[in-house]
Amino acid sequence: MVKDQVSIVTGASRGIGKEIALKLAEQGAKLTLVGSSEEIHQSAKDLNEQGFTEVMAVQADVANEEDMKKVINATLDKYGKIDILVNNAGIGFFKLTEDVTVEEWSKLFEVNVQGVFIAAKAVLPHMKERKTGTIITISSDVGRYTIPNGAAYTASKYAVQGFSGSLAQEVREYGIRVGTINPGMVDTYFANSTQGLPEKHDWLKVEDIANAVVYMASAPKHMLIDEIVLHPLVQNYPIA
């Protein structure tokens, strides 16, 4: 159960992150929403207007260590503890390798990998002290196999998988659980797309990912769910 659990959700301005926040709130969690733009305050307001009052927003860059320390401190000041961290913030694009600029590569790894590392690093001292906590990262099914035109994005997700697996082993003795949610194609705003396009009708929905997060976070304390893989039921979709 996540009732009264204090949860930080990054990338919560819209799409998957906003839906994760909603599903956690519906289960009684207390929330800190994190986003890089002022839009994050609207997300918190939207939840407040639905009757979820234990919600606050912090505008922060997940790849900036001082920003994430600010998020942790603000959450502890308001709620007194942190139970769940959901690393959802991420970006992506799909190009031939020779068309990817060094700047694009660096930005992708800054958000997708460094952001996950910094957020986890920031919350770990508190979770270790309490000897409890759950860290969930929204990765991708391409962190388990490769695709053409996706070398940069795929590499970042392989890195996330490796980081999460190693971290899980490091913190197990403290009662901290680390897992990844690895979805396939999701009808959301990913890679500058638009949510709700007709051609995405048979893709995964944002609520599918959010429900998986709630399931993983709600597991009994004696159980670790280290990975959930979700694929759309689309003919010829690669399944690794």
Name the nearest CA neighbour of 3 among 52, 60, 45. Answer: 52
Q: Do residues 111 and 62 lie in contact, with contact meaning Cβ atoms separated by under 8 Å? A: yes
Under DSSP, the state recorded for 231 is -
Measured CA to CA in angstroms, residue 204 lies from 130, 140, 231 at distances of 36, 12, 7
Task: Write the single-letter amino acid at 183.
Answer: P
The SS3 assignment for 34 reads strand
What is the distance between the alpha carbons of residues 72 and 67, in angstroms, rounded to a whole number?
9
Within 13 Å of residue 221, how many CA atoms lie on the same side as its CB? 7
Q: Mind telling me the catalytic residues? A: 153
The SS3 assignment for 183 reads strand
Residue 102, H or E segment: helix 102-109
Tokens read off for 120: 């986890």
